[in-house]
Amino acid sequence: MMIQEGQILDDRYEIDSLIGQGGMSFVYRAKDTKMGRAVAIKVLKEEYCEDEDFIRKFQNEAQAAAKLNHPNIVAVYDIVDNHEDKLHYIVMELVEGITLKTYIQRKGAMDSKEAVALALQVVGGIEQAHKNGIVHRDIKPQNMIVSDDGTVKVADFGIARAATQQTVNTTVMGSVHYISPEQARSGQADERSDIYSFGCTLYEMLTGKVPYDGSTSVAVVFAHMENKIPRVRDLVPDVYPALDIAVFKCMQKRPSRRYQHIGELREDLQKAIKDPGGSFFEGKIPEDLDETRVLSPAELDDLKSMQNQSDSKTEQPHYSGIPGFLYDHNIIRDHIMLSRIITVICGIAILILVLIIGKNVVDFFTRDTTPLETAATTVAETEETTAVSITISALETRIQGIIGLTIDEAEEDLREYNIRILSSGAEYSDTYNEGVIISYPDKDYAAGSTIEVTVSKGPQTIVFYNKNNPYDLSTLNETKLQDLETRLKERDIPYSVTEEYSDTVPAGYVIRTNKPDSSGSEKLEIVVSRGLNANVVNVPDLKEYSEQDALTALSLLELTPGNISYLPDNTVEEGIVTGQSIAAGTPVPKGTTISFTVSAGPNGIASVKSVDPQDLTTTSSDKNGWYSSISTTVSLGSGAEPGSNETMLVSIRLRQDVNGEEHYRTLQEARSYAIGTELQVVFPTIKGEEGIPSGVVEVVNASTDTVIASFACAFSPEE
């Protein structure tokens, strides 16, 4: 059944989004609220939920797969069987990555070294399953996921077995490009069937192509049963000879000629790393790995005796020296019994095979409708041969693999079915990148169909800044309001704009927003720069200045000093500013009157005086020494997230080089400022070391002792 985004299953699993669809199930990304981890949930479709026998077998197989614990197997966490809601699903490990099929399509043929590295991971997972008595039955690159860190994991152990048991007439569940001959003939499979399918997969990894291809699925199946085994070396001459032999051995038609256990293949792959030439195969390569040879009279006698055996669907016994994988006694006729020339035998065999394939291909294409889910073909051979019923899963009806692919990639994936894909529209998506398929009509498709898909236009959500680093607004400050408005209007996102002056952000560019991205119901508020206002200055921080320095600082910024109040103070030295009428950092027009309070010392008398600006002087009462001055601003961070109370502890010091040694003098003790403050660094009189003509004023983060900003100053003796 289809599950809605945001739905919570069994009070535990919160559905995030649909990430894939298959013939039997829907696959969702979800959150396990109990364990606090992301998971993948495979939910059975309704048509399977009606079959109690299938549900029972499916659960049994899933439980067996859940016991597998291996780094190269997708873990099964939970199995839920809810008959009341007709909801049956499996909770699995969520692996972030792409399928091995997609990896091959994007990369092309792998070199031998990389192929061995990936193959050993897959073989490790399969070997663990086989040791636990589980045969996969659907080994193919589509069922292998390459994670972001390069780990390969095999998925869906046990699922193919349950599906096979549920169907009738020995339905073949595996993809036809990787199906073993015995699965195609009878639906029977064992560990060696997985080895054959993996051999096909390894062939594709090394060549970039499937070993057998054809215009129809039936043609591909017959190629697996009858055609000569392809060699990797024919397409990739520089392949490790050891790998070429290993793939060839995996893909033997008869199970008895293959590796009998996956561990044997693992050992040969490990040997291939140290001995790419494959010398370790010497003396161990069966005759059927060599070229076709002429049959001896004794072998022909054996063939005649085989013809007289009772009709059987089991594999024919192995006769010493007979290349049985090239011949099937079902296509040997009585009139060739006396023939001793191998070319005659081959000619007649090929003729019969062509007639059989031709008849079934005609039947296949002359039917009124051919569902892609199971295209059944019955091979009716001559009366002396055995009738074989083959049912092929040619294409999963929901075309699971095309979500997340571009149109070109999807058409290449479905090339064998002559599927055409057209874009019927585009939508924004926070899940999929721009240009990839995000949805299409949920129905069955036939070969030659046209599928109209919806393509992603990119993220719906616009990110303004990293919410984990709200102090860095550099990217936002480089965004023009006009460009941002275009993106907001395209997405129908409501917003408002206000303007303010800024000393650091150019006019027309965004200063800040009230939230880090456009998600959520809160209306977006944008503050845009009006540029620098020459008539507005930020009030300096006068605290801890001397009275004279405070007056000079106001004068330098063209601010008018107001009343000076003298109040007794037991904690602050006499003559030092303890407060001011307008808070530091406040933007005000030039000429604004600023009053301040000065300590009268512990025994002082409270009084107030007015200041005549004409009496202001910028000179210091201390005439001995070398002096400089500074008037500038420093931005403490790029601005905090709206509503944030983040602060920074800041001190200011003078650094001078005296005879090769660094001397420091504190100009301002550490004070706390809000992040985003435009700190006024105004010191009308800075006394330096006598005879030292230069120095550096440093604004320091006192918490970490790191320099936020530094300014070079020139010093000269007071005249």
Q: Which residues are catalytically annotated?
A: 138
338, 348 contact by CB (below 8 A): no
126, 194 contact by CB (below 8 A): yes
476, 464 contact by CB (below 8 A): yes
| Residue type present at position 467 | K
In three-state form (DSSP H/G/I as H, E/B as E, the rest C), the secondary structure along 665-685 is EEEEEEEEEECCCEEEEEEEE
Q: Which residues pair with 152 in a beta bridge?
A: 146
Q: How far is CA 570 from CA 10, 604, 667, in A?
A: 68, 10, 22
Strands 647-658 and 593-599: unpaired
Mention every residue, 6+ apart, whose C-beta is less than 8 A from residue 706: 700
676, 635 contact by CB (below 8 A): yes
The residue among 123, 255, 132 whose CA lies nearest residue 186 is: 255
Cα–Cα distance measured from residue 240 to residue 286, given in angstroms and rounded to the nearest whole number: 19
Cα–Cα distance measured from residue 618 to residue 718, given in angstroms and rounded to the nearest whole number: 12
Q: What is the DSSP string of 317-369?
A: PPPTT--GGG--GGG--GGGTT---HHHHHHHHHHHHHHHHHHHHHHHHTSS-
650, 709 contact by CB (below 8 A): no
CB neighbour burial string for 214-235, b if at least 16 within 10 angstroms, e if fewer: bebbbbbbbbbbbeebbbbbee
Q: Which helix (H) or strand (E) holds 626?
A: strand 626-635
Mention every residue, 6+ apart, whose C-beta is less than 8 A from residue 100: 118, 141, 142, 144, 145, 146, 152, 201, 205
| Coil, strand or helix at 609 | strand
513, 496 contact by CB (below 8 A): no
Listing from the earlier edge strand, what are the strands of the sheet with 678-688?
Answer: 678-688, 626-635, 716-717
Burial grade of 504 (CB within 10 A; 0-12, 13-18, 19 or more):
middle
Listing from the earlier edge strand, what are the strands of the sheet with 25-32?
Answer: 8-9, 13-21, 25-32, 37-44, 87-93, 76-82
